[in-house]
Amino acid sequence: MPHEAAVDPRRQLAYVCITYEDGFYNHYENASHFLEVLSLDEFRHLRSIDLSPHWGPHGIALSPDLGTALITCESGGGELIAVDLGTETVVGSVSVGAHGPHWMALTPDGVKAYTANKEDPFVTVVDVASMTVTGRIDTPYGTEGIAASPDGSRVFVASQQSPHLYVVDVVSDRVEATIDVAEGPGAVTVTPDGRQVLFTTFNFPVWEDDPELGQGFFQTLDAKSLELGPRIAVGRFPLNVAASADSTTAYVSNYKDNTVSIIDLHALEVSTTMPVREGPHGIVHVETPVAHSPSARIVASDASN
């Protein structure tokens, strides 16, 4: 059961968190403790990094120098770990004080990490150099998706069980604005040009073994004016969202429909719905070297066997 993916474009490697061996959040028998390494040049599995004794890896971000992976884990009552990608060993960890750390955001300078905590009323702030918790940001209903702006000034956070997006000031580590949205938001990212926040709506009330899933939605937020764009229908359970490097296209992984919605960010409409294999989850946009064709690829982790 893979969760999130991160890409090292310099070495053309992808790192994929395997969160569980079966089931899903709070509904599984066996957690995983592996980070998988894939070659993007050959698009094949290279090796597994054993994160033990840490388990349940979820969110992942690579440091600016691409030397370290920071990963949220369910082990230890909820923690953030650091993996040296040269030696492929865990070199640091810190408890985030939350049972369900999920996605995470890293500031572009690599100084601060923020963990979204599904079941606790705060976002945890971690100083990466010392791997210590330096603060908590009040978010009363738990948090889901989280993303830092490319200029490092803000972090955008999705409320887990209320229809709100939080805008966090990175200097003060406080919520500077709360955006009312139609329904509880899910995944969040920011376009590389910093102009738009992109987020999805899962559209189901509670986690259960077989939740009833309605129409999923995608929406934009102007990062400067904080004005919302129109809601755009995508597939059921749109678990993640990524943006192209030129900030013109969004990609949404629809977990229950086994599709990826490709969205034109100028026209604000779905241009293509692409079928994929079972249960697409984590998704990243990969810029391919000039010698390769096509010029860009989409990598999505999925739950297929």
Instruction: Give tens-digit pLDDT for 146-167.
Output: 999 999 999 999 998 899 999 9
Instruction: Assess whether pLDDT exceeds 80 at residue 288.
Output: no
* C-alpha to C-alpha distances, 88 to 16, 170, 233, nearest whole angstrom: 13, 30, 41
Averaged pLDDT of the chain: 91
The pTM of the full predicted model, rounded to 2 decimals, is 0.92
Burial (Cβ within 10 Å: 0-12, 13-18, ≥19) of residue 208: exposed
Instruction: Assess whether pLDDT exceeds 90 at residue 296.
Output: no
* pLDDT tier for residue 111 given thresholds of 50, 70 and 90: very high
Instruction: Assess whether pLDDT exceeds 80 at residue 302.
Output: no
Please report the pLDDT score of residue 205 as a whole number: 52
Q: Hunting for tokens 């946009």 — which residue is that?
A: 285
* pLDDT tier for residue 74 given thresholds of 50, 70 and 90: very high
Handedness of CA 244, 246, 249, 250 (dihedral sign): positive
What b/e string do you get for 127-164 counting C-beta neighbours within 10 Å, with b at 16 or more?
A: ebeebebeebbebeebbbbbbbbbebebbbbbbbebeb
* pLDDT tier for residue 239 given thresholds of 50, 70 and 90: very high
Instruction: Assess whether pLDDT exceeds 80 at residue 304.
Output: no
Count of C-beta atoms within a 10 Å radius of residue 30: 10
Please report the pLDDT score of residue 292 as a whole number: 47
